[in-house]
Amino acid sequence: MTAPLLEVTDLVKHFPIKSGIIVDREVATVKAVDGVSLTIGEGETLGLVGESGCGKSTLSRTIMQLTTPTSGSVRFGGEELVGRSRRTMRPLRRQMQMIFQDPYASLNPRKRVGQIIGEPMELHGIATGRDVTARVRELLDRVGLQPEHAERYPHEFSGGQRQRIGIARALALKPKLIIADEPVSALDVSVQAQIINLLEDLQAELGLAYLFVAHDLGVVRHVSDRVAVMYLGRIVEMTTATALYEKPLHPYSNALLSAVPIPDPKLNFERERLVLEGDVPSPIDPPSGCHFHTRCPWSTEVCDVDDPVLEELLDGHVAACHHPRNLAELS
């Protein structure tokens, strides 16, 4: 078996909370990412879901080395990224690009679209002068915009069009992996569909791998080969999209899926629902044992004291739970 494109092992990112005026004491830490391991193969899409504050965005930024991990390893194409200098990071960063949630905040308002897409190419020395212009026009065309849009400024575009510009910028360096952090959540449904279709076409054509971070479980099921579910800084379940949505093992995945209303009144009415009580606990002081036990309808004493490990309960289906669901009927 060849090495996966991206291999993340025991990645940890803790943010210190400091207090005090003269002596900067560290009073607590936010355990935003707390020991995450995952792999993404070439041309594969891994969906990453979880509620706000579960650490999905921090995880993607830490994988990109946009924030320095506290510990752990990130290997891209077999090469370790953690601990690299900016200079030695650069050739690798070219191969992994990011698309952001807010197409209004992620494009420089004072630059023309042509500059926004063209500059990374010049910086990385993969094109110069007229080649840049030609490639920008080609990219704009590829993402469904007009080549003459290169002369315009971001404010002249709608949200969906801006997201297309963000995608063109990410594609400019011919990356192998694109980390998309909530790429469609700021868009209207009809525009969402356009962007999702575009991302899928590009994947088929260019063999891109995606880490697709989103809170919309419907969108994630649609685009992902495999899906990881995060809760309070940890992955609690990871498997193929179909397995997760048909037979989720972890109670949290069950609750999350059951909370999403289905746009079909009859099915929605017939479906059994599990409504969780309360909110997500704080990642500063996560619950003991299994982080989810405070909200879990099936928790027992063991969940309170013993932290379950992420283990392979079924073929290619990992979950961290003492009382997994849907297991009996499967075996």
Partner 1 sequence: MILSVEDLRVSFATDGGVVRAVDGVSFELAEGEILAVVGESGSGKSVTAQTVLGLTRAPNTTITGTVRFDGRDLTELDDKGLREVRGERIAMIFQDPMTSLNPVYRVGDQIVEMIRAHRKVSKREARQSAVELLNSVGIPNPERRVHHYPHEFSGGMRQRVMIAMALALDPDVLIADEPTTALDVTVQAQILRLLQKLNTERGLAVVLITHDLGVVAEIADRVAVMYAGQIVEDASLADIFYDPQHPYTWGLLGSIARLDEDRPTRLAQIAGQPPSLLNPPTGCRFAARCPHAFDKCSEPPPLDGDRCWLTPEDKRRLRDVDGRIGLRKAVTS
Q: What DSSP designation does 48 have?
A: E
Among 227, 255, 313, 319, binds partner 1 (CB under 8 A): 255
For residues 177, 182, 188, 193, the Cα torsion angle rounded to the nearest 10 degrees is 30
Binding partner 1 (rule: CB under 8 A), the pick from 267, 270, 309, 328 is 267
Site map 69..108 versus partner 1, x via CB under 8 A: ----------------------------------------
Name the strand (E) or helix (H) holding 195.
helix 189-206
Q: Is 221 in the site for partner 1 (CB under 8 A)?
A: yes
325 binds partner 1 (CB under 8 A): no
Give the amino acid at 20: G
Q: Residue from 138, 151, 156, 264 that binds partner 1 (CB under 8 A)?
A: 264
Is there binding between residue 245 and partner 1 (CB under 8 A)? Answer: yes
Q: Does 194 bind partner 1 (CB under 8 A)?
A: yes
Taking a C-beta distance cutoff of 8 angstroms, is the pair 260, 271 a contact? no
Q: Kindly tell me which residue out of 131, 141, 279, 285 binds partner 1, with binding defined by CB under 8 A.
A: 279
* Residue selected from 17, 134, 273, 304 as contacting partner 1 according to rule CB under 8 A: 273
Q: Is 68 or 190 the residue whose CB approaches partner 1 more closely?
A: 190
Residue span 19-58 as binding mask against partner 1, x where in contact by CB under 8 A, dash where not: --------------------------------xx------
Q: Is 241 in the site for partner 1 (CB under 8 A)?
A: yes
Q: Tell me the backbone φ, ψ of residue 211, rounded to 5 degrees.
A: -105, 110
**Secondary structure percentages of the chain, helix, strand, coil, to 5:** 35, 25, 45
Q: Which one-letter DSSP state was computed for residue 149?
A: G
In three-state form (DSSP H/G/I as H, E/B as E, the rest C), the secondary structure along 193-239 is: HHHHHHHHHHHHHHCCEEEEECCCHHHHHHHCCEEEEEECCEEEEEE
